[in-house]
Amino acid sequence: MKNILVAEDDRSLRDGLVQSMSRSGYKVQVAQSGKEALEKIEKQVYDLVITGYRPDGLDILRKARSTNAGTMVIVTGENGTGAVEAMRSGAFDYVQKPLSLEAIELKIQRAMEHQRLVARLTSMTEPEPDPSNRYGLVGNSPAMREIFKMIDKVASSNATVLIQGETGTGKERVAEAIHRNSPRHDAAFVRMNCASLPDNLLESELFGHEKGAFTGADQMRIGRFEMANDGTLFLDEVGNMSANTQAKVLRAIQNGEFERLGGSRTIKVDVRIVAATNINLETAIKEGRFREDLYYRLNVVTIVMPSLRERPEDIVPLAENFLKNFARELRRRVQGFSPEALKRLQEYRWPGNVRELENSIERAVLMCEGEAIRPVDLTLLDREHTLAMTPQLAVDLLNLEQLEKTALLEALKRSNWVQKEAAKLLGVSSRVMNYKVHKHGITHDRWSKNRN
Ligand SMILES: Nc1ncnc2c1ncn2[C@@H]1O[C@H](COP(=O)(O)OP(=O)(O)O)[C@@H](O)[C@H]1O
Ligand SMILES: [Mg+2]
């Protein structure tokens, strides 16, 4: 409830104000004199103070504002006496006597509204400084501190950044942090997973297409390069593009220009590129799967994300952070981890890195019946088992999401992108098929016609 102090020496006015405001649901206190008002303000925080200009209005105003900048003050007076003075000293408003209770009611509402806005703005511009959670990235290990330093360094420039690292190490998060802290932050951050689509679809997504470019293209559509104009384009899994697409991407990055599919007009854009890959591009170059010139274009600055097992000191802070978030989201009363569970988390190899940790904690929060997560709640692979596997194999086994997506894409391809047929192949209902397709962001130009 909002706290209001009424400091008026006119008794009938005071009573009228108190009555009307109490009825409106405010908690109202009165001060009979200027001295009493000053004492009260010192002892308690008020949301709003209403005071007459005479005799002590200015003192009360200044005291209220200096004690708590969030306190709104409305000053009343006759014939505009002291209005300028009051406004200059930080009053929210000045009201002429005789007062209409309705008019003052309205002013109070406006003052409260104003107060809320100011509170919101200050909370937005002054986030709590937390050294172990910068850019929304948890981690205070030396390796992560180096990553933060790199983000600081590259964010302000336009340099193309290549982020390397295993799956689930936070590459996408870092890309976003670079954008958010760059001068481009007001423009779009556009993502494109280059491994998620067959070649021709990928090109259409990246560069857009003109009307009639291919069967089904009955509308012109702009691509991600155009969407990202003035902003940042995040090319994820950039190592998996075909030679043809690589050539087009190279030109788009080099000259900032391209044509939409089926079009001849050259389009110019100003886009910053951040790319990520979990494969070793140098090996890919040696094997002839990746263009060397494109590699050098992308690799102006490289950030190598450390795997989670290279920074075990981050495991517990990350786990605690995920636990807190999931407990809130899933409305569970889980508070923490048992000592054995903590030990288990720290010993485990985390082939799927932070993403695997995040998924494990989500499951554990759901499974957990008490207030602490125990080892049985953590469905981790056996230690020996994980150690024997190559990281990639383990990731594939663990990353059910990715498996699911691969299966969906395969079934869709085989059934010529007819969802109903693909659903039959997979033995699921059309509804489930449709849900999964959306969940994984799988698109096909054939579908856009029927979608609405
Ligand atoms: N340092 C971190 N702090 C908090 N969450 C993280 C951190 N690193 C990764 N994550 C989370 O882990 C998941 C995987 O991260 P992501 O950036 O998609 O990894 P990658 O692109 O390397 O596969 C995401 O849900 C992300 O929010
Ligand atoms: Mg990723």
> If you take atom 8 of ligand 1, which residue's CA is the nearest one?
170
Is residue 98 exposed (0-12), middle (13-18) or buried (19+ Cβ within 10 Å)? exposed
At residue 286's C-alpha, the angle toward residues 164 and 158, to 5°, is 40
Q: Whose atoms come closest to the Cα of 306: which ligand?
A: 1
What pairs with residue 259 in β-bridges? Answer: 266
Among 252, 267, 260, smallest CA distance to 209 is for 260
Strand order across the beta sheet in which 72-78 lies: 27-31, 3-7, 48-52, 72-78, 93-97
User: Ligand 1 test: best mutation among 173, 308, 326, most atoms within 8 Å of CB?
Assistant: 173
Our answer on whether the CB atom of 134 is closer than 6 Å to any ligand 1 atom is no
User: Ligand 1 test: best mutation among 163, 172, 194, 310, most atoms within 8 Å of CB?
Assistant: 172
Our answer on whether the CB atom of 358 is closer than 6 Å to any ligand 1 atom is yes
Of ligand 1's listed atoms, the one at least distance from the Cα of 166 is: 22
Between CA 174 and CA 192 the distance in angstroms is 15
Our answer on whether the CB atom of 169 is closer than 6 Å to any ligand 1 atom is yes
Neighbours of 159 (CB within 10 A): 14
CA distances for 119 relative to 47, 70, 156, 442, angstroms: 12, 8, 29, 42
Q: For 42-82, where are the E strands, in sequence order?
A: 48-52, 72-78
Q: pTM score, two decimals?
A: 0.61
| Cα 358 to ligand 1 centre (Å) | 8
Q: Whose atoms come closest to the Cα of 193: which ligand?
A: 2
Q: What is the dihedral of CA 355, 357, 362, 365, to 10 degrees?
A: -170
Domains of the chain: 3-125 (3.40.50.2300), 133-306 (3.40.50.300), 309-398 (1.10.8.60), 400-451 (1.10.10.60)
Among 173, 160, 175, smallest CA distance to 249 is for 160
Of ligand 1's listed atoms, the one at least distance from the Cα of 357 is: 12
> If you take atom 24 of ligand 1, which residue's CA is the nearest one?
355
Our answer on whether the CB atom of 168 is closer than 6 Å to any ligand 1 atom is yes
Dihedral over Cα of 126, 128, 131, 133: its sign: negative
Q: By three-state DSSP, how is residue 212 classified?
A: coil
How does pLDDT run along the chain (452 residues), one tens digit per residue?
788 999 988 888 888 888 888 888 888 999 988 999 999 988 888 999 999 988 889 999 999 988 887 889 999 998 888 888 888 888 999 988 888 888 888 888 888 888 877 776 655 554 444 555 667 899 999 999 999 999 999 999 999 999 999 999 999 999 999 999 999 998 999 999 999 888 889 999 999 999 988 888 888 899 999 999 999 999 999 998 999 999 999 999 999 999 999 999 999 999 999 999 999 999 999 999 999 999 999 999 999 999 999 999 999 999 999 999 989 888 888 999 999 999 999 999 998 999 999 999 988 988 888 899 998 888 776 544 444 445 554 555 555 567 678 878 888 988 889 998 888 887 777 877 887 788 788 888 877 654 43
